[in-house]
Amino acid sequence: MPPEAIDYLRLAYPIGLGIAAVGSALALGKAVGAAMEATGRQPEASGKIMVSMIIGCAFIEALTIYVLISVFLVPK
């Protein structure tokens, strides 16, 4: 690759990681907020709601971790 392309990659990866982190934070906030609202409406279903929320949050965090790992796998 030409040197310019490597420079663009070095700039794009941190920006991509930042976008992934912000997206993950927004998604987690929305998921937790919706779960709290659902628990307030139906307290008897709080166990099922929490389990579903925790699984969803784990998937959201996994996507962010994949982006972080990809930064370390890029050749220098």
What values do phi and psi take at 74, rounded to 5? -70, 130
Q: Residue 24: which pLDDT band, with cuts at 50, 70 and 90?
A: very high
Inside any domain, residue 76: no
Inside any domain, residue 54: yes
Q: How many domains are contained in the chain?
A: 1
pLDDT at 57: 92
Tell me the CATH number at 57: 1.20.20.10
Inside any domain, residue 74: no
**CB–CB of 35/25 below 8 Å?**
no
- The residue range of the domain holding 61 is 7-69
Inside any domain, residue 42: yes
The mean of the pLDDT values for the chain is 87
Inside any domain, residue 2: no
pLDDT at 58: 93
